[in-house]
Chain A
Amino acid sequence: MREELFVSGRSNPLIDPHLEIWEWQIPAYLFLGGLAAGILFFAGLFYLRGKEEKFSTAVRVAPVFVPVLLAIGLLFLFLDLKHKLYFWRLYTSFSIESPTSWGAWTLLLIMPLSMIWAALNIESVFPRWDWKFQWAKDIIEFFKKYKTEMAWGLVVLSIILGIYTGILLSAFNARPLWNTSILGPLFLTSGLSTGAAFIVLFSRSKAERHSMGQIDLMLITIEIALIIHMFMGFQASTQVQIEAAKMFLGGQFTATFWVFVFSLGLVIPALLEILEAKGKKVPYYIAPALVLFGGLLFRFIMVHAGQLSRWLY
């Protein structure tokens, strides 16, 4: 039997008795960042494939909301900083080994790009929108000429944004639950899935809803496979990761994760999509709402549980 004590009484706030340096701001941002990445990916993809008409919500409507989602996410990131007035230091350096730095610079590129894309399509959400000033109209006309280049930018940057939300966590080997390279693809897939769900929620075209639903079904299937793969990896890994996985396999997060994230957020929406594909009448908003809820909860649980996982010594 072993017992370890801090006899000098260490109790550093946010560190002891267990790490809780990242509270709600980071998981909420990871959700919004992943969601924005998913929406922008489909916008760029369907534009480049010339399917703007069929997927008009994906290309034109949903991206109008992205600058708002990203702005809220950035606000959350700012709220998380403990030395707020120095935030601009992110942009006086670039550190190739730091996922946080990659994320900061990616946001600096994707934020204006998403704003321009939203501006070009704003009439699809606000039909009576008027730019009022001639110079504003001139700018819009100028960017209309470069839509293809911008769509490529959206596809590339959204993949970086989506995968970085996972790599941000997986790069920390001090937290065994996060320290798996599956987390990058897993968060990217989850982000794309929430993006597809968002598009289904806002789409008025049955054909588009059907196709996006099928895409979401595929993404959910990949996500389920990645989650199972992640736990298989933990079980086959060292004691530290076996202990980390125990939190989800009998430990304190078992019920929340497997009932709410896995079943309600992935399996049930997948079944609903299958029923819908078979022509059964299911209210179209249930599956995407569950996917969005599951995606949000998944990030909260992963960020929280990861900080509880640790090396054993």
Chain B
Amino acid sequence: MRYAMAIDTKKCVGCSDCVVACQTENLVPHGYARDWIVEVTDGTYPQLELEYRSERCNHCDNAPCVRCCPTGASFISEGGIVKVEHDKCIGCGACITACPYDARFVHPEGYVDKCTFCDHRLEQGQDPACVAVCPTKCLYFGDMDDPNSEVSLVVKKRKFKTLIPEAGTEPQLYFLI
């Protein structure tokens, strides 16, 4: 089992539904975000190119946040999901500094918080909240180890990029381009 997500940058319109769905589903405190939308504009008017990316934790195979955690609070859970055990986290900030994607933050209660791929929903056979609400269906989620899963198929078929692969993190978000 290896959970992964593919994000179709050609279909995403940047509506931020995924962000709001995550905040509602996971009771993310006001002013914080576990996922976010980046709008990249390239070129000079009138030759402009636009790319929307719905970003979140990359649930890296070689996660620097997990390696640098002094207490084992950051760990790789079933299916490769990178998680934080709140009662083990001391809030030292090492994992936040270690993440090249700035995907983690300090919850107002003191522990470090981040995207969990909504594993509480996965247990019930549902998709993560962001995937479930996407109005353009630009988010694909599933098991990369299963060659017939939706995400495996779309990554095989389409051209994609990952973010900062040269950081050696082996990220598991695939941006279809």
Contacts and interface: CB of A to CB of B under 8 A. Distances in A.
Interface string B144-177: 0000000000000000000110011000000000
B100 interface: yes
Interface in B97-137: 97-100, 102, 104-106, 109-112
B97 A7 contact: no
Contacts of A173: 64, 100, 167-168
B31 interface: yes
Contact of A81 (B39, B90, B167): B90
B91 A81 contact: yes
Where chain B touches its partner, the secondary structure class is loop
Q: Which of B16, B96, B111 has the most CB of A within 10 A?
A: B96
A84 B35 CA distance: 26
Contacts, number: 154
Given A12-B32, A12-B33, A14-B106, A6 B38 contact: yes
B36 interface: yes
Nearest to A89: B71
Interface size bracket, B side: 35 or more
Nearest to A238: B166
Contacts of B14: 7-8
Contact of B92 (A5, A92, A100): A100
Given A21-B93, A83-B89, A95 B70 contact: yes
A176 to B, nearest CB: 9
B88 interface: yes
Interface string A247-281: 00000000000000000000000000000000000
Q: 4 closest pairs, A vs B, by CB? A: A82-B91, A83-B91, A83-B110, A101-B70
